[in-house]
Chain A
Amino acid sequence: MTMDNQQAHLLKSDFPILNTAYKGRKVVYLDSGATSQKPQVVIDAINQYYRLENANIHRGIYRLSETATRIWSEAHEVVARLIGAKAEEVIFTRNTTEALNLLSYTLLPLLQGRTEIVAGAMEHHANLVPWQQMAKRHGLTLKIIPMLADFTLDMTAAQQLIGSKTAIVAIGHVSNALGTIHDVHKLFAWAKALGALTVLDAAQSAPHLNLDVGKIGADFAALSAHKMLGPTGLGFLYGRRDLLEQMQPWQFGGDMIAEVSYDDAKWNELPMKFEAGTPHIAGAAGIVAAIGYLKSVGLEAIGAWEKELLKYAIAELGDVPGIKLYSAGEQRSAGILSFTLATVHPHDLASLLSDDEICVRAGHHCAMPLMGRLGVSATARASFYLYNTFEDVDMLKVGLIKAVELFG
């Protein structure tokens, strides 16, 4: 299966928000890296859940509760299948951030006295600050793999940084700020050869490519439903079963226990051990529909189409006066393009584009250390998904030129 511009137009019509005009203009949505839009099937699934299926899960001995419980566990199976895991290895969280925080609060007993955590220069704050703070709490050292001038990670330096003291290698698969796809295969192979744990921040990759945690060598992986056509408020942590079994829960309450007395408690089985309290059940209904939709188009086709769009955007936007692109090129990037204009600040640009209902992100993209490394305070970023078309890029270009002209 491959995608083309015509199919992208067809897919766009499945997304109500992209077909709703505001003052006569439809939204040109180029901010899927922040969150994706939702197709009608996902909205319907959530709607149906609340209209016809709503009940709390696990302990209700009646039809509705059984239905809700089935939706909840089926969602685990669907997400697990998507990333090549088993259902009990997938813990439902609020988002990627919570999944990574969970790890930073529970991995200590598994570190075997090793003292170093390695992350990349382009990490989202969600895959940086939890490790930085864990390091501070426990006297560990956080080491950063530097970035090269071509916006890729310095793999030579990485190989030297990963050593016998390395406890954890935590890497964002795809940089949300620049779009670079990192060679996590290689990084994780080096880490595992030396006995380190591997953590994949898959927030920006799972929505756009076929992810197989086993093949990649990820002991843990974190992702968010809302970036892959699903609802906000739901995320996933994959963990290898033998590792999850050795870890202690970090939140306590209902559902995560097997047995409680006033003095003690025993933990429930995986994944419930890490799923305390009433979860986002409607979200589970939504993500099942979202993954169904993604699979019907094909993740490979989606990723390839986004590269097409990126290639087109690099070629088209390249001649806008004063533009600077921060991209490793479409071969080594996902559908994300970060740029600055010589005369227009990203923030002003985003405001001006908004007049034409063009949505881009402007700022530090939750990667402030990276912005420092790039020598800018902010960039503008366009990020693509399956519903974006060549015309969206054309509209962006027109908007950029208008902004440059206004600023003179």
Chain B
Amino acid sequence: MDDVLSRQMYQENILEHYKKPQNFGHLAKPTHLYHSHNPLCGDDLTIEIAVVDGKVSDVRFSGVGCAISVASASMLTDEIKGKSVEAVMQMTKDDVLELLQIPIGPVRLKCALLSLETVQKAVGGGE
């Protein structure tokens, strides 16, 4: 990743998701909720999920974050809607990177993956 400029992370669609994130806010009745903290920068992220019949029926996120973490949360929350909890638990780093479609160096990987970690802790960790 040494030769990749950070500039290349900030593609139009990333900035778009950052400025107008999908699924930002709260659910009236989440069945699952998890709050995460990025120790690197002090940012935080809360994921609220409503699971019906083993599937993600709705999801919201809130908190503060950098463009990478917000865009990733925005895209990921769109992606998991309608998915089974099992399928969500099987998602990996590569799935997130595929959604983002940008080169991410090791330092910022944490930002990109915070949303997946939080989603999986929410649905995997019971209430």
Residues of A within 8 A of B67 (CB): 344-345, 348, 407
Assembled-state Cα–Cα distance A2/B41 (Å): 37
Nearest-neighbor residue (CB-CB) of A347 within chain B: B66
Hey, what's the 0/1 contact readout for A59-89 against B, CB within 8 Å counting as 1?
0000000000000000000000000000000
Residues of B within 8 A of A161 (CB): none
Question: Contacts A345-B66, A347-B66 given: A407-B10 contact, CB under 8 Å?
Answer: yes
Q: Is B87 an interface residue (CB 8 A)?
A: no
Is the pair B6, A347 in contact by a Cβ cutoff of 8 Å? no
Question: Contacts A345-B67, A348-B68 given: A355-B41 contact, CB under 8 Å?
Answer: no
Is the pair A406, B7 in contact by a Cβ cutoff of 8 Å? yes
Hey, what's the 0/1 contact readout for A333-348 against B, CB within 8 Å counting as 1?
0000000000011111
Is the pair B7, A378 in contact by a Cβ cutoff of 8 Å? no
How far in angstroms is the closest Cβ of chain A from B60?
A: 19
Q: Is A162 an interface residue (CB 8 A)?
A: no
How far in angstroms is the closest Cβ of chain B from A344?
A: 8
Q: Looking at chain A's contact residues, is the secondary structure mostly helix, strand, loop, or mixed? A: helix
Is the pair B7, A355 in contact by a Cβ cutoff of 8 Å? yes
Q: Is B40 an interface residue (CB 8 A)?
A: yes
Question: Contacts A348-B66, A348-B67, A408-B15 given: A355-B42 contact, CB under 8 Å?
Answer: no
Is the pair A378, B10 in contact by a Cβ cutoff of 8 Å? no
Assembled-state Cα–Cα distance A400/B68 (Å): 18
Is the pair A347, B15 in contact by a Cβ cutoff of 8 Å? no
- Which of B5, B40, B64 makes the CB contact (< 8 A) with A355? B5
Residue of A368, A371, A377, A408 with most chain B CB atoms under a 10 A cut-off: A377
Count A-side interface residues using an 8 Å CB cutoff.
19
In the complex, chain B residues 41-77 whose Cβ is within 8 Å of any chain A Cβ: 41-44, 64-68
Residues of A within 8 A of B7 (CB): 352, 355, 406
Residues of A within 8 A of B44 (CB): 377
Assembled-state Cα–Cα distance A407/B67 (Å): 10
Residues of B within 8 A of A345 (CB): 65-67
Hey, what's the 0/1 contact readout for A351-365 against B, CB within 8 Å counting as 1?
110110000001110
Is the pair A407, B111 in contact by a Cβ cutoff of 8 Å? no
Assembled-state Cα–Cα distance A347/B71 (Å): 14
Residue of A345, A368, A378, A407 with most chain B CB atoms under a 10 A cut-off: A345
- Which of A344, A347, A354, A406 makes the CB contact (< 8 A) with B41? A347
- Which of B15, B42, B43, B64 makes the CB contact (< 8 A) with A407? B15
In the complex, chain A residues 368-392 whose Cβ is within 8 Å of any chain B Cβ: 368, 371, 377-378
Residues of B within 8 A of A364 (CB): 41-42
Beyond the given A351-B6, A351-B9, please list 16 additional residue pairs across the A-B interface where CB-CB is below 8 A: A345-B66, A345-B67, A346-B66, A347-B41, A347-B68, A348-B10, A348-B66, A348-B67, A352-B7, A352-B10, A362-B41, A364-B41, A406-B7, A406-B15, A407-B10, A408-B15
